[in-house]
Structure 1
């Protein structure tokens, strides 16, 4: 599946990490040059610098052949303009948009090209489920088109994995850690990283269940 994510804030980055880990072709559009430079090599995605509210930038990102556009900027006006352009001008098959201000919820519908709207306080999982509903999401995040599960687990102070290096954790067969998100920033899953309370782990598995993955860490 080809995906365009507009906005490289925390939600945009995490969404890109999950979808890329599930073997989707992901492009992030971000207008801040410094943010784009910081992301170079940090995420397995294509980066496009520019304002996604401009049709030419969306075209450069590949909107004419994309399967999904996700507008995750921190500005509702921008998310609506992006959604309208993606759906009305470029006929994107599915458009998902983030709502930052609850008072604007009534605007986020098909009139503005929005197929699914996600409140800013919704979980990452909720956004991905909305975004991938057309690909038969099952269980937590079963991306059937990719043939894998992407499972999220959070380390708490009671988790058995606290203080242990990632290499010491026996994850189920056919499962790999795609990212460790610490203090809101995704980090490469280095084998020597020691897990702390609050760490969020994204794991990709071809066969393990959510229960089996949680049991390894909790």
Structure 2
């Protein structure tokens, strides 16, 4: 997969290295000469250019990219880059970094953003996930499908502790995708039992979240 990352700061470089380690081809673009640090990510391709300019994106051959990630520290730039990538170069998948939570509503399909990643919201969700037992925590939103990735840690008083996955009357459209137990990932096989302290990961539509939480962790 060919990935183009606009913004070669600490975030962009870290993402680039992860993708390269997973076998992908990565091009990093940045308009600041001080950000061109090929010594830090030597296996990436580099381009000194303004990713908000059509000519720069053409030079980067965006039409051959599978994914474009706009990861600059400027939300306006990230929106422009995503929109140009989608409308001018028909990039199949765009990911936009949200720096300020108040701008999150802008990162939608109307601006060419397929997936938005809000660092403040993600950090808050991870904090909640670390301390919340029995409460449903939303980790991520898939905008194109109107579905969310959510987590719930099974409390000891859940009525389904000790039950098998297939014995739980899951709400419609809810998919259990993984069980995290003892620092390992368990597949949610139908015969696998649920234990107190299990971290359950689901993909679910928003309107099923309350029903899911009440099912596994009824209050009162």
How far, CA to CA, are the matches of 1:76 and 1:35 in structure 2?
18
How far, CA to CA, are the matches of 2:34 and 2:101 in structure 1?
30
The answer to whether structure 1 residue 8 and structure 2 residue 32 are counterparts is: no
Partner of 2:59: 60
**Residues 16 and 41 of structure 2 are in contact (CA less than 8 Å); yes or no, is this contact kept in structure 1?**
no
By how many angstroms is 1:43 displaced? 3.0
How far, CA to CA, are the matches of 2:2 and 2:87 in structure 1?
18
**Unaligned residue ranges in structure 1 (runs of 5+):** 132-209, 213-218
By how many angstroms is 1:66 displaced? 0.5
Change in 2 beyond 3 A, CA 1:10/1:116: same
How far, CA to CA, are the matches of 1:27 and 1:15 in structure 2?
11
Change in 2 beyond 3 A, CA 1:41/1:116: closer
**Residues 17 and 43 of structure 1 are in contact (CA less than 8 Å); yes or no, is this contact kept in structure 2?**
no
Correspondence 1:120-131 to 2 at 5 A:
120-121=119-120, 122=122
By how many angstroms is 1:120 displaced? 2.2
Correspondence 1:1-218 to 2 at 5 A:
1-36=1-36, 38-40=37-39, 42-121=41-120, 122=122, 211=184
By how many angstroms is 1:211 displaced? 4.2
By how many angstroms is 1:58 displaced? 1.1
Change in 2 beyond 3 A, CA 1:102/1:41: closer
TM (norm. structure 1) is 0.55
By how many angstroms is 1:40 displaced? 4.0
- Alpha-carbon displacement from aligned partner over 1:58-115 (angstroms, at most 9, x marks no partner): 1111201000000000000000000000001111000000001111111100000000
**Residues 13 and 41 of structure 2 are in contact (CA less than 8 Å); yes or no, is this contact kept in structure 1?**
no
**Residues 2 and 65 of structure 2 are in contact (CA less than 8 Å); yes or no, is this contact kept in structure 1?**
yes
**Residues 96 and 130 of structure 1 are in contact (CA less than 8 Å); yes or no, is this contact kept in structure 2?**
no
By how many angstroms is 1:42 displaced? 3.6
Higher RCO (C-alpha 8 Å, min separation 6): 1
How far, CA to CA, are the matches of 1:42 and 1:91 in structure 2?
27
**Unaligned residue ranges in structure 2 (runs of 5+):** 127-139, 143-182, 186-220
